[in-house]
Structure formats: C-alpha cells, structure tokens
Amino acid sequence: MKTFNVPLTYRSPLITAVKNQRKQADKLKKDFTPTLLNFGPLHIYLARHFGFCYGVENAIEIAFRTIDEHPHQRIFLLSEMIHNPKVNADLQERGIQFLQDTYGKQIIPFSDLREDDIVLIPAFGTTLQTEQLLHEKGIKTERYNTTCPFVEKVWNRSEQIAVKGYSIVIHGKPKHEETRATFSHAAAGAPAVIVNDMNDAIELGHFITGTKDPALFYQYFAGRYSNGFDVAKDLRQLGVVNQTTQLATDTQAIAAYLKQLMMDHYQLDEKTIESRFADTRDTLCYATNDNQSAAAGMLGTPADLAIVVGGYNSSNTTHLVELCEEKLPTYFISSADKLLSDHSILHYNFHSKQELETHSWLPKKNPVSILMTSGASCPDAMVEEVIRRLASFFGVESRIDDLVREFNL
C-alpha cells in the first residue's frame, strides 16, 4: 500500500516499531490479538490495528503539501479536514481557514471567496451542490480534493445500483459530513433515504410492507429523504450503503434485516432476491473493519479498563468506545493531558456529550492491565503520549526506549 508524507510530529517511534513487527509477523492480517507492552507494574495491550488510515494520511499529505506549495495564497477548508482537534488546530496555525463547521453551518460566507483562492475538500467529501457552487466561482478543486477513496467507492456503488433501478438506503448519522455528502451523490441518481440505526430500519420496514400509512414516512424521515421520494414506488427495490465509519456489524445487521423483510414480503429466496435487494457488502471500509475487528480481538484479553484515544466528534472512534464499554470500564480521551493524575481523569461520555472527571480510575493493584486503541484520525504520536503519561504514573517511563529497541530487533 502507498506510503504518505505526513508531518513527523504525527509519527511515533514506539508505535511504528510495534506496527512494523506485527505486519511482518502477520502479513495476511488474520491475528487480531493485541500487542503487550510490558512495563512491569503496568501492562498495556495495544489493539492489532488502530490510528491513521489510508484516507486520513492521504488528506493530511495533500493539505500540508498545499500549504508548502502556496505560501502566498489564501487556503480554505470546507470544514474540519478530519475529526481530530490537534490536526485541525495544526492546519489553522499554518493559516488555513474553515468555511463551515462540522454540521455545515457557515463560518465564512462563500461570497467572500475569490477565484484565486484554494479550497480543500476534506476526507469526508462534500455535496454536489457545494462542488457546483465552487466551480461556478471559478475555484478549481480537483488538485485539492482529499475525499477518501473508500468514501468515493460508496458513491460509485450507489451510482451502479441506481442505474439498475434500486433506491438507496444510507446507513449513517444524518448530520455527519460524510453522510450528507453520500446522500447528495446518491440522491442525484436515485431515490434515497437515510437510516441512523436499526430502529429506523424497522420503521422503514413498516412502509415497505404497507403496515403504516405512507404519509407518516414523510414525518418520520423528515429531512432524510430525496426530493420527490414516492413511498408507493420507491421502496420496491433497495440497496444499502453506509457512512464508512459506522459500526460494520450495525450496517450488516440493517442490510440483513431489510433483505429478509423483502424476501418475506415478496416471497423470494436467495436466488431471486436480487430482483428486489442489491448486494452492497463491498462498500464497507477496510480500515473501519480492521480497527473494529482488532478492538473485538483485544477485548478477549482480561484487563482492568480500556482507553480509547481520538476526537470527541469522531464517528469511528465513538464506535470503538461503544465496543469496549460493553466489556469493561472505558475512558474516551482526546489527548494525554486528560490524564490529570493516577487519581483523576477527564474523559468524554458520548451518550450525554459531556466531558466528565472521574476519580480513583486506576485500580490499586500490580500489575494494572489496560487495553488501548485509537480512532482512524488520531496520530500515533498522541497514543505514545498517552502511554508515556501512564508509564510516568508508575515510574517506568524510561522503559519505553527499551521497548522500541526490542520491537525493532
């Protein structure tokens, strides 16, 4: 796979050594057990896969290269490059300005843009309407489009099944940049509707089978269906695609539910279901799958707690937290400075959307065992900072250099 030129400050000697060793020992990526960092009184188990994915590294490389190549031009980002506060802050410090927030609210009016300005499209992609607006202003985005190739794969698959007459069901968070972009691209070629979760899929099922008044569809899915959506005819053939950072198991469950419902309603079997339901399993992102599978594999290791590092508005990171907290106490932190001491920790509760302070979070035992992973937009250097901070609580921070040498052997 291609390697990218990202700032060295995002790399970690320790994490790089660990990942290289695991890659050499498991080239087919079949072993999802974690890697033990043995500090004596502290045992940290790192997930087999975590951190920057292909799409994120590609976006970061393009962004920083653009800054270096155009020191005298105004450079804008449509919204956050990725959902990591440090990376976005670094870009802003280099002079990049954000046009919108993560929900599409305008920060700088598009009317302020000039033809010679550079506008970067973030890794999540953007809507066709926004692309058209930029092109009408004479702003060329082709060189500065950092849309993840796996997001574009979803768009291409949507287009392929739309040509065959399928309507598109998008499993995603309705307000997320990627879901808004995917909805725009899907709706350009077919009727489309967004489902947030299984409850939405079940509700959609009532309209597929006709057990609920079609008029109620437009109330329940308000703001989440394409213009002209006709419940009477647009739910007869379906294909499910997803926001690539959703839980893969959730997307699969929603697709399986709707497929079975179509089979039962139209009295079809596995050989004939394709007439009503498209096979779209190939839209699941490899990195999302790998990181989630690694988190699941990590959870088979007995431990006292888990730490997940990443941006609080990062969808893929939130899902890793969701997986971990089913098994053991889990702390979602954005950086090492959230580890206030061996007694206090600041962490994010994504259910209540609040940052909380918890006391007596580290158990008084020897050794303390911690599972650790991070989101796809989290630099490895931030994970190492968390490890160093934890090691300092036990007086074993010097052991990190020894571990780097051991993994490099």
Residues 6+ apart with CB under 8 A from 292: 247, 248, 249, 319, 320, 323
Residues 6+ apart with CB under 8 A from 265: 208, 209
| Burial bucket for residue 401 (CB in 10 Å: 0-12, 13-18, 19+) | exposed
Cα torsion at 171, 120, 130, 282 (round to 10°)? -30
Neighbours of 50 (CB within 10 A): 29
Q: What tokens were used for 135? A: 């092109």
| H-type alpha helices, 270-378 | 286-298, 315-325
The residue assigned the tokens 């980002």 is 77
Q: Is the peptide bond before 367 cis (omega within 30 degrees of 0)?
A: yes
Round to whole Å and give the CA distance between 157 and 29.
26
Q: What tokens were used for 197? A: 């979760």
Round to whole Å and give the CA distance between 247 and 284.
9
Q: Which amino acid is at 229?
A: F
| Catalytically annotated residue among 57, 178, 322, 384 | 178
DSSP states along 7-74 = -GGG--HHHHHHHHHHHHH-TT----PPEEEE-SSEEEEE-SS-S--HHHHHHHHHHHHHHHH-TTS-
DSSP states along 146-169 = ---HHHHHHHHHHHHHHHTT-EEE
- The answer to whether 142 is a known catalytic residue is no
The residue assigned the tokens 């394409």 is 226
Q: Are 40 and 399 in contact (CB under 8 A)?
A: yes
The residue assigned the tokens 């901070």 is 389
Secondary element (H or E) of residue 333? strand 330-333
Q: Which amino acid is at 301?
A: T
Mind telling me the catalytic residues? 178
